[in-house]
């Protein structure tokens, strides 16, 4: 197959996966920030269990792909042997605060945009600008100068990656593949035990189905970019990953791809830029959500409720753009895709995102009660 053909295969695969993700996410009202809000404000854990079920399914699927040798997850950005702990913490906290002020993470805003939310379109635009600034602009200089130098170089200690399987292999002296299997089994059992201990969640077929499907779609993303899209470039004879912005294996993530989507639109005539897996996935989520909204009759144009709402959401969007790039991912990029690789940094980033969101939710609740 030609280079253009392989790139088209990966991009179309990303679109198809994200289309289903957007459709199912819209149908099940999937939103990590919303799930945390349910817990903090109402003590309801249903949507959070749906998210954790998706993580468990993704961990199983990604581990099987890696164990079988079909993909090399150690090549993913989240698995690099340099652990930028301060960037992960600061970026995660910023993203958690930002998604709460913006009324949802990047994924949720993409879903809302497909359902007719002009508000989400504006939020996504500002998030994309901030993300691009963090990749290549002013925010990026701050990140590279003030945050990224604080890291732990595991490669210097003989680690091939930062996965829990590798950590277990180093500590216990077992084979790396056995370490991966043990880590995956322990994490999956712990997650599933928590998810299914609630009878009300078990009886909610939609949420159970959504959790399984969304987790499986992340696994499909690893397969498309890391197996179908991995091969020898017939023009250079180099073995490469086709049609990914990171030039390596990717699965679903939405902050950096928003920035690359904006770049492609602004520099459309630049022959070096093409639709990638990430860009296609951004389009796919919006299209899938739109398909659900149109078929269910739920499509509605929506704007900002007030000037204060506009101010809060734009500030949240900027924090999301900065935080998502700095933390190497969002609630999907780190919170499902990253966690599926069992990368230690993904646990740090996801924990920081949750902490930032919960703290902001509690502050908002306290202010409302005070008033």
Residue-wise pLDDT for 318-356, tens only, equals 999 999 999 999 999 999 999 999 999 999 999 999 999
Q: What is the pLDDT of residue 229?
A: 94
**What is the secondary structure of 255-309 as a DSSP string?**
HHHHHHHHHHHHTTT-TT----HHHHHHHHHHHHHHHHHHHHT----B--SSHHH
Question: What is each CA distance from 365 to 279, 289, 299, 319, 368, in whole angstroms?
Answer: 36, 30, 30, 20, 5
User: What pLDDT is recorded for position 121?
Assistant: 97
* The pairing of beta strand 152-153 with beta strand 82-83: antiparallel
Regarding beta strands 152-153 and 239-241, do their DSSP bridges make them parallel or antiparallel, or are they unpaired? unpaired
Would you state the pLDDT for residue 126?
Answer: 98
The rounded distance, in Å, linking the Cα atoms of 261 and 309 is: 26
Q: What is the pLDDT of residue 175?
A: 87
Say how far apart CA 71 and CA 59 lie, in whole Å: 14
C-alpha 272, offset from chain centre = 26
Six-digit token string for 356: 């930032």
pLDDT value of residue 2: 80
Residue ranges per domain, the chain? 3-370
For the record, the structure tokens of 214 come out as: 């969304």
Instruction: Say how far residue 45 (Cα) sits from the centre of its chain.
Output: 21
- What is the pLDDT, as a whole number, of residue 347? 98
pLDDT value for 369: 85
Angle between helix axes 32-42 and 106-114 (nearest 10 degrees) is: 110
**3-state DSSP assignment of residue 163:** strand
According to the model, what pLDDT value does residue 371 have?
Answer: 77
In the numeric block, which tokens belong to residue 30? 């999937």
Which 8-state DSSP code applies to residue 335? I
pLDDT of 368: 86
pTM over 0.85, yes/no: yes
For residue 189, give the H/E element and its range.
helix 176-195
Do the Cβ atoms of 209 and 16 come closer than 8 Å?
Answer: no
Q: Counting beta carbons within 10 angstroms of the beta carbon of residue 188, is it exposed (0 to 12), middle (13 to 18) or buried (19 or more)?
A: middle
pLDDT < 50: residue spans in the chain: none
Q: Which of 84, 82, 88 is nearest to 157 (CA)?
A: 82
**Four-residue CA torsion sign, 229, 214, 58, 245:** positive
The pLDDT score that the predictor gives to residue 1 is 73
Residue 70 CB burial class (10 angstroms; 0-12, 13-18, ≥19): middle
Q: How far apart are CA 94 and CA 86, in angstroms?
A: 12
> How much is the mean pLDDT over the chain?
95
């Amino acid at each position: 197959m030609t280079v253009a053909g392989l790139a088209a295969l990966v991009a179309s695969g990303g679109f198809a996966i994200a289309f289903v993700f957007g459709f199912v996410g819209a149908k099940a009202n999937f939103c990590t920030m919303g799930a945390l809000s349910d817990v903090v404000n109402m003590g309801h854990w249903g949507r959070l269990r749906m998210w954790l079920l998706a993580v468990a399914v993704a961990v199983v699927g990604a581990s099987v792909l890696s164990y079988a040798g079909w993909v090399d997850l150690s090549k993913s950005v989240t698995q690099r042997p340099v652990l930028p702990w301060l960037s992960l913490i600061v970026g995660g906290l910023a993203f958690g605060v930002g998604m709460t002020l913006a009324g949802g993470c990047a994924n949720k805003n993409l879903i809302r945009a497909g359902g007719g939310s002009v508000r989400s379109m504006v939020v996504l635009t500002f998030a994309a600008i901030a993300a691009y600034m963090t990749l290549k602009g002013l925010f990026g200089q701050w990140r590279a100068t003030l945050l990224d130098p604080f890291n732990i170089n595991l490669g210097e200690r003989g680690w091939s990656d930062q996965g829990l399987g590798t950590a277990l292999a180093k500590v216990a002296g077992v084979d790396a593949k056995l370490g991966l299997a043990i880590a995956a089994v322990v994490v999956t059992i712990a997650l599933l035990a928590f998810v299914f201990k609630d009878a009300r969640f078990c009886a909610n077929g939609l949420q159970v189905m959504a959790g399984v499907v969304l987790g499986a779609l992340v696994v499909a993303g690893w397969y498309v970019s890391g197996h179908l899209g991995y091969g020898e470039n017939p023009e250079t004879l180099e073995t490469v990953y086709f049609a990914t912005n990171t030039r390596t294996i990717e699965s679903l993530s939405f902050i950096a791809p928003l920035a690359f989507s904006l770049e492609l639109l602004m520099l459309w005539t630049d022959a070096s830029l093409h639709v990638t897996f990430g860009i296609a996935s951004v389009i796919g989520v919006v299209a899938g959500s739109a398909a659900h909204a149109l078929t269910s009759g739920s499509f509605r144009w929506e704007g900002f409720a007030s000037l204060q709402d506009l101010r809060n959401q734009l500030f949240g969007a900027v924090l999301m753009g900065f935080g998502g790039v700095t933390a190497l991912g969002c609630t999907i990029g780190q919170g499902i895709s990253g966690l599926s690789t069992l990368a230690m940094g993904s646990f740090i980033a996801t924990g920081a995102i949750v902490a930032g969101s919960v703290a902001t939710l509690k502050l908002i609740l306290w202010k409302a009660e005070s008033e």
